[in-house]
Structure 1
Amino acid sequence: MSWLNLSEAVNWPESLSKLTLLRELELSECNLPDVNPRSLAFINSSTSLQLLDLSYNSLNSSIFNWIANVSSNFVHIDLSSNQLEGGIPKGFQNLCSLESLTNCLKTLRTLLKPCLVLRTHLRPWPWQGTSFGDRCRISHVHFLNLSRLQTLDISGNRFSINLSSDWNPPFQLTGELDMSSCKVGPAFPKWILTQTNLFRLSLSNAGLSGSLPHKFWDLFSGLEWLDLSMNQIHGKLPNLSLTSLSICISRANNSFSGPLSSFCAPGIWYVDISKNLLSGELPNCWMQCQELQLLNLGKNKLSGKIPSWLGNLQSIGILRLHDNNFSGELPSLENSTQLLMVDLGNNKLSGKIPTWIGQSLPNLVILRLRSNEFNGIIPFSLCSLAAINVLDLSHNNISGSLPHCLNNITALAHDTGGSRSFTVELVIDISSNYLIGEIPPSIASMTELKSLNLSGNKLTGKLPEDFGNMKMLESLDLSRNRISGQIPTSFASLNFLSVLDLSHNNLSGRIPSGTQLQGFNASQYMGNRGLCGPPLTQSCPGEGTVQDDGIARGTEIDNKEQVSDGLINLGFFISAVLGFVTGFWMVCGSLQLKTSWRYAYFRFLDNAKDWIYVKTVVYKAKVRRTLQR
């Protein structure tokens, strides 16, 4: 046996020590917390073992010492995705046959595991004792005697490359040079120009500025992959029209300018020149790029019509021409059936949304046509986009009603179990158009939808009663429409809502009780005169707090008194006058007419006065005696 894969087992039999001819041993993804020398004793006795794969475990730095003491002719060692930190021990210099070391070291400040890949005989080992932490400085000392180095990958480490401009490297790389996210610039390193046999060069986010060397493209005619993105490089694009390179070019976020007419090679399969200063129209020479799989020219100053030859690129999967000045109608892309993403947002495109989008692009995941001048209705064929995850038609001149078949979009209506090509949010945005009619009840069937924006239209009617079925909704904006009726009680089931805007409609009734709905600011409901209940201050009819009820009842009584105040005062005055006159003349008049009655009356007053006087004196005497006790 020359090869053994134990990636599915943690323990292995001791009989493995008899496999003296074993050349390759894979122990990746075994969840090994550490290496037990006894359990791997057979490796010490195996003189034929050349490849050891211990990647994706939980090994610590003690693995270095163990490997350094193993008397084996290792050629390839993979320790990536472990818990390694610190430096590589001196014992590694005894591994004379080692050509490849994939060593993902864990730094002290981050959980990232930057990788170092060297393919050479590594004798003597130059990296011993080096700590691959934040901003480790790499100088020419680290490359002494590495005359057979073939591939150098120190990307993702944030190393500071401290090499003089006249440094002459002792090696000639024949594979890959990747120093992405390291501090290489600001000037383009001259020593890289000596590595003319590279097939892959990645200097993304390397702090480069200025222009590329004059003979850059002549020196690297054999490149298959070039990534200079996220730098500050400027200048004109090179003339590749006469070459036959199969090249991936990513130069996003630089300052390249000029036309694209010279920048098309038949073998190009990946082009990202977004976020630059490119101008002019798309050249016809690109129709020869039949291998093109990704074209990203977004955020430039390109203009003119989108050429029809794009529809002949049958291999293209991602097309991004967003944030430019393209105008006219969208040409047919019916033959580009492999398209996953079409992003033409923020241009000046006009005409109707083509029906062929839904008929001929079955794999489309993202369709972004926002901020253009498209008009007409939404074609029903868009409902056939079974894989669509993002449908953005916002800020156009689209009219008509919402298609009732949107629930046919299976990616939005059913859980696909994580089988999507790449992870994106499930979004529908048709805001700021001229849509009319009601929101179709079928929209509630899109249970996987996370964001729905229909704001800024002329939608009418009531909200679907089953709106709460879209339990995955995180953002809902229906503002600035003419929607009426009550908010369905099912809204209280939208437990993941973090953004909600129902303002400026004709909604009425009580806002359904639910933790989410009452947690939003009152401004999210403003402009609906009939809405009431928390978080609004307006109470619903017949409801309110105790204090509010008391105030209401008091106000009601005051109002009644104010209404009848004039009648009460007039009646009281008349009754008082009549009662006084009648009582006075009935008593006093009779005393004047009957003498005996008058004498008896005054004798009664005298006796009453005496009786009151006697009772008062007796009561005072009792109180005085009580106080004395």
Structure 2
Amino acid sequence: MGEKCIQLLHFSVVLLVFCGNTPVLGVSLEAKIRCMEREKQALLQFKETVVDADGVLSSWGSEEDKRDCCKWRGVRCNNRTGHVTKIDLSSSYMTGKIRPSLLELQHLKYLNLDGNDFGGGNQIPVFIASFSRLQYLDLRGNSFYGPIPHQLGNLSNLRYLDLRWNQLDGGNIEWLSHLSLLRHLDLSYVNLSQSTNWAETINSLPLLKSLRLRGCQLPNVVPFNSSLSLKFLNLAGNNLSSSIYSVLFNSSNNLVDVDLSSNQLKGLIPDSFGNMISLVNLDLSWNQLEGGIPNSFSNLTHLQTLFLQYNSLTEELPEFLEGNSLQVLNLEGNKLSGAIPESIRQCSSLIKLFLGNNILNGTVTKSIGRLPKLQVLDLSSNRFTGHVPRVPSNVTLLYLSKNMFSGSISLICTSVGVQLRYLELSNNQLSGELPDCWDMFEFLSVINLANNNFSGKLPNSMGSLNNLQALQLRNNSFHGELPPSLKNCENVRFIDLGRNRFTGKIQAWIGMHLTSLDVLSLRSNNFYGGIPENICHLNHIQVLDFSQNDLFGELPKCFNNFSSLVQKDGSKAPYRLWYKEYNSLYTIGHVYKGNALVQWKGEEREYTNTLPQLKIIDLSSNNFHGKIPKQVATLAQLVSLNLSRNNLTGQIIQEIGQMKMLESLDLSGNRFSSEIPTSLARLNYLSMLDLSNNNLSGKIPSSTQLQSFNASTYSGNPQLCGLPLPNKCPGEEIVVKPHSNDTRSQEEEEEEEDRFITPWFYISMGFGFTVGFVVVFGTILFSSSSRHTYFQFLDGIHNWLYVTTALNIARLHRRL
């Protein structure tokens, strides 16, 4: 018994030692594993040809601490063999070329170069087809160009292929039929216009689950049975006709995500969609579909997103059944009529509801306020009436503009929650004073209440909106002074308070605290006093409109501080205000396109999309006096300057010719004197000019530009002369030569001239012409500098001839 105990003890000790040493041995073995030297060198050769501005490959090197390439960023190896099996350099913003040295990586299974520029306008390297073990290949967005190499069909182990966002020509894609293991294929924006058999080729891939061919110029298809395994199908933007329905309805019910947007689908929405009971996402937007939403859609109990916007649907909204899973419903841009049904409350999972730009009417059902998850509500551009509806407290974006809502908006203090980021109530019939509860909306970025009937003073609580970026209150009846608390809104970039009855002085705190402003419009109010020097601290300003007020004093001499108007690209586009929306589906960045009412080329219009191009200063219709400061001429990026209808005096500054981008200049209705500066002729983009009703004198400078304007441009200046005005300048009378006293007949003169014309005259003339032609035009042909000088000379001759001819014709008319 004792002997057995001793043997058992001995065995236990041996086992303990072995088990205790195993981890050590494992670590030791693992420590010895390094990537293959030839594979490491192949990667280093690849790095040599790459421009890596962000240092993504900084861990790649030959130094002692970088010996193991399996630990390099973006590189993974097989734990047992040490072979490189994975390269993931996605979204690294690198440029360069894919080197053939990578062929050493014969065990590579995964290659992701998404979001770089390894194409550089070249074709996809054919040698990529030699990675026989490759299962995952992502080359999207790499500026590859030209035909897709058919050798990619040799990658028989490929499961995932993404070549979108390049400039590739698919041609014949029958090579895809050799990739029998392919599960995901994305060739979006590859030109497949010549791939007449694309549908049959795709159908030969038995395991394909995801097919994305957006914007591929696909030829229309004939009916065929699509893959039974397909779950995700995106054929958007291909101008496909309704024959594409065969791809859907002849397949199994496995399709989960279908996108046929931006095609040429016409007629009624087929009832057969109701048989696709697995559908989660369906996008038929931007087509020409008619009628309404089929009742069969009630069978789609798993449907979460339905996009039907911008079709020609005309019927009323359907009744919504209990138990639906809708999270996003977009029906905007149709011709839907009637009221929102009470049954909308059945959509208890709804997060986003877009019904804008239809002809829906009536009062908004109270059921809208009972959607517990609703975050985005768009009812804009309809015919809704009544009070602003009560909305769920989760709402972050509220679009109710361009309807006929009336009454007060005090309801927002109790209805709308603190998450509100966007409040769009413009172009309604709302009235009353604004509620004083704005301090509860700490995330509010955009307020647009323009074109309503609001009155009263702005509440002090508006100054608590620290995240405010846009405040549009144009065309209401607000009065009083601006609350000083607004100086706390230091992130605001867009303020339009035009066409109200605000009073008081323009406060210095605007320039001291609101330095992010791109657009500041106070036009058509009752502001008085001078412009404070601090306004010049608005170095991002692009639209500054103080017109039609009671401002007076001299113009500030600090306009050169408006750096966005002095330097090119000095600021961001004024309407691009970004704010994020968060929900359970995804995070999205929104662009707010602010609009402004401005005077542009003599017309008062509202601008939205083109507003970023309008860099404007409008100080017209006030009582400013004194001279134009020379600093105004530094505004080289300004496209419109309006100082009309003031009491400005002195000369028009000679430096005005430095404002090269100026397209509109209005200095009318002042008391400017002396001559028009000749530098004005150098403003090549100038298409609107008004110098009327001043005290200008002398001759209008001669130039193609200045003479092309109508005479009304210069009218009301009695001492001004020259074209296009009818009054002549002194010394412009046409001098007529006296008749010759020579009594010789015309025939005698011609005979005398003919004595010099001999055969040698014609020979010399021909020879001289040939030599002159070769010398002059030969030089122009072979010398680019000579060519440039020559055509500049021709332009000058053209301008001189135009002005001279115009002047002579005018003189002739005056004589007659």
TM-score, length of structure 2 as denominator length: 0.60
**Secondary structure, aligned partner of 1:88:** helix
| Distance in 1 of aligned mates of 2:664 and 2:528 | 26
Alpha-carbon displacement from aligned partner over 1:201-246 (angstroms, at most 9, x marks no partner): 011101112211243312x232100111111101112345xx6324
Q: Which of 641, 644, 649 is equivalent to 1:455?
A: 644
Q: 1:132 to 1:395 in 2, by over 3 A?
A: closer
| Distance in 2 of aligned mates of 1:475 and 1:7 | 42
**Secondary structure, aligned partner of 1:412:** helix
Q: Which residue of 1 aligns with 2:404?
A: 255
Q: 1:544 to 1:58 in 2, by over 3 A?
A: farther
**Secondary structure, aligned partner of 2:356:** coil
Alpha-carbon displacement from aligned partner over 1:395-437 (angstroms, at most 9, x marks no partner): 1111111111112211111111885353341011110001111
- 8 Å CA contact 2:317–2:337 kept in 1: the answer is no
Q: Which residue of 1 aligns with 2:482?
A: 330
Q: Where do 1:417-436 residues align within 5 Å?
A: 419-420=572-573, 422=576, 423-436=612-625
Q: Which residue of 2 aligns with 1:91?
A: 247
Alpha-carbon displacement from aligned partner over 1:306-331 (angstroms, at most 9, x marks no partner): 11111111011111111111111111
Q: Is the counterpart of residue 485 in structure 1 residue 678 in structure 2?
A: no
- 8 Å CA contact 1:519–1:535 kept in 2: the answer is yes
Q: Where do 1:463-612 residues align within 5 Å?
A: 463-545=652-734
Cα distance, 1:247 vs structure 2:
2.3
Q: Is the counterpart of residue 22 in structure 1 residue 168 in structure 2?
A: no
Q: Identify which range, 27-36 or 384-393, moves more after superposition.
A: 27-36
| Distance in 2 of aligned mates of 1:497 and 1:321 | 32
Q: Where do 1:305-324 residues align within 5 Å?
A: 305-324=457-476
| Structure 2 letter corresponding to 1:357 | I
Q: Which residue of 2 aligns with 1:172?
A: 324
Q: 1:162 to 1:281 in 2, by over 3 A?
A: closer
- 8 Å CA contact 2:558–2:631 kept in 1: the answer is yes
**Secondary structure, aligned partner of 1:460:** strand
Q: 1:221 to 1:123 in 2, by over 3 A?
A: closer
Cα distance, 1:516 vs structure 2:
2.5
Cα distance, 1:86 vs structure 2:
5.2
Q: Which residue of 2 aligns with 1:373?
A: 526
| Distance in 2 of aligned mates of 1:83 and 1:444 | 52
| Distance in 1 of aligned mates of 2:276 and 2:141 | 28
- 8 Å CA contact 1:87–1:132 kept in 2: the answer is no
**Secondary structure, aligned partner of 1:284:** coil
Q: Identify which range, 206-215 or 441-450, moves more after superposition.
A: 206-215
| Distance in 2 of aligned mates of 1:414 and 1:457 | 28
Q: Which residue of 1 aligns with 2:140?
A: 6
| Distance in 2 of aligned mates of 1:544 and 1:65 | 84
| Distance in 2 of aligned mates of 1:245 and 1:132 | 29
| Distance in 2 of aligned mates of 1:475 and 1:500 | 6
| Structure 1 letter corresponding to 2:329 | L
| Distance in 2 of aligned mates of 1:320 and 1:132 | 31
- 8 Å CA contact 2:469–2:491 kept in 1: the answer is yes
Q: Identify which range, 307-316 or 487-496, moves more after superposition.
A: 487-496
Q: Identify which range, 523-532 or 53-62, moves more after superposition.
A: 53-62
**Secondary structure, aligned partner of 1:468:** helix
- 8 Å CA contact 2:669–2:693 kept in 1: the answer is yes
Cα distance, 1:343 vs structure 2:
0.8
- 8 Å CA contact 1:140–1:163 kept in 2: the answer is no
- 8 Å CA contact 1:384–1:409 kept in 2: the answer is yes
| Structure 2 letter corresponding to 1:91 | V
| Distance in 1 of aligned mates of 2:702 and 2:192 | 53
Cα distance, 1:59 vs structure 2:
4.8
| Distance in 1 of aligned mates of 2:481 and 2:309 | 43
Q: Is the counterpart of residue 147 in structure 1 residue 301 in structure 2?
A: yes
Q: Which residue of 2 aligns with 1:589?
A: none
Cα distance, 1:142 vs structure 2:
6.7
Q: 1:104 to 1:164 in 2, by over 3 A?
A: closer
| Distance in 1 of aligned mates of 2:236 and 2:289 | 20
Q: Where do 1:23-38 residues align within 5 Å?
A: 23=160, 25-34=161-170, 36-38=172-174
Cα distance, 1:7 vs structure 2:
2.4
| Distance in 2 of aligned mates of 1:149 and 1:126 | 4
- 8 Å CA contact 1:73–1:97 kept in 2: the answer is no
Alpha-carbon displacement from aligned partner over 1:446-489 (angstroms, at most 9, x marks no partner): 11111111101000011111212212112111110001111111
Q: Which residue of 2 aligns with 1:227?
A: 378
Q: Which residue of 2 aligns with 1:618?
A: none
| Structure 2 letter corresponding to 1:226 | L
Q: Is the counterpart of residue 402 in structure 1 residue 555 in structure 2?
A: yes
| Distance in 1 of aligned mates of 2:501 and 2:363 | 32
| Distance in 2 of aligned mates of 1:512 and 1:66 | 71
Q: 1:288 to 1:530 in 2, by over 3 A?
A: same
- 8 Å CA contact 2:668–2:694 kept in 1: the answer is yes
Q: Which residue of 2 aligns with 1:268?
A: 420
Cα distance, 1:21 vs structure 2:
6.1
Q: Which residue of 2 aligns with 1:625?
A: none
Q: 1:89 to 1:171 in 2, by over 3 A?
A: farther
Q: Which residue of 2 aligns with 1:555?
A: none
Q: Which residue of 2 aligns with 1:202?
A: 354
Cα distance, 1:155 vs structure 2:
1.4
| Distance in 1 of aligned mates of 2:375 and 2:280 | 30
Unmatched tracts of structure 2, length 5 or more? 1-109, 111-135, 211-230, 267-272, 577-611, 739-816
Cα distance, 1:292 vs structure 2:
0.6
TM-score, length of structure 1 as denominator length: 0.77
Q: Which of 432, 457, 461 is equivalent to 1:280?
A: 432
Unmatched tracts of structure 1, length 5 or more? 110-118, 551-629
Q: Which residue of 1 aligns with 2:47?
A: none
Q: 1:164 to 1:485 in 2, by over 3 A?
A: closer
Q: How many residues align?
A: 531
Q: 1:120 to 1:294 in 2, by over 3 A?
A: farther
Cα distance, 1:40 vs structure 2:
3.8
Q: Where do 1:156-171 residues align within 5 Å?
A: 156-157=310-311, 159-162=312-315, 167=319
Identity of aligned residues (%): 38
- 8 Å CA contact 2:177–2:201 kept in 1: the answer is no
Q: 1:91 to 1:454 in 2, by over 3 A?
A: same
RMSD over aligned Cα, in angstroms? 3.3
- 8 Å CA contact 1:55–1:81 kept in 2: the answer is no
Q: Which residue of 2 aligns with 1:414?
A: 567
- 8 Å CA contact 2:542–2:565 kept in 1: the answer is yes
| Distance in 1 of aligned mates of 2:614 and 2:285 | 40
| Distance in 1 of aligned mates of 2:715 and 2:182 | 79
- 8 Å CA contact 1:99–1:121 kept in 2: the answer is no
| Distance in 2 of aligned mates of 1:386 and 1:19 | 60
Alpha-carbon displacement from aligned partner over 1:581-619 (angstroms, at most 9, x marks no partner): xxxxxxxxxxxxxxxxxxxxxxxxxxxxxxxxxxxxxxx
| Distance in 2 of aligned mates of 1:67 and 1:179 | 32
**Secondary structure, aligned partner of 2:244:** coil
Q: Which residue of 2 aligns with 1:339?
A: 492
| Structure 1 letter corresponding to 2:327 | G
Q: 1:501 to 1:84 in 2, by over 3 A?
A: farther
Q: Is the counterpart of residue 212 in structure 1 residue 348 in structure 2?
A: no
**Secondary structure, aligned partner of 1:443:** helix
Q: Which residue of 1 aligns with 2:262?
A: 105
Q: Which residue of 2 aligns with 1:619?
A: none
Alpha-carbon displacement from aligned partner over 1:158-177 (angstroms, at most 9, x marks no partner): x2144675x55697243211
| Structure 2 letter corresponding to 1:382 | I
Alpha-carbon displacement from aligned partner over 1:470-524 (angstroms, at most 9, x marks no partner): 1211211111000111111111122222221111001111112222322221112
Q: Is the counterpart of residue 73 in structure 1 residue 209 in structure 2?
A: yes
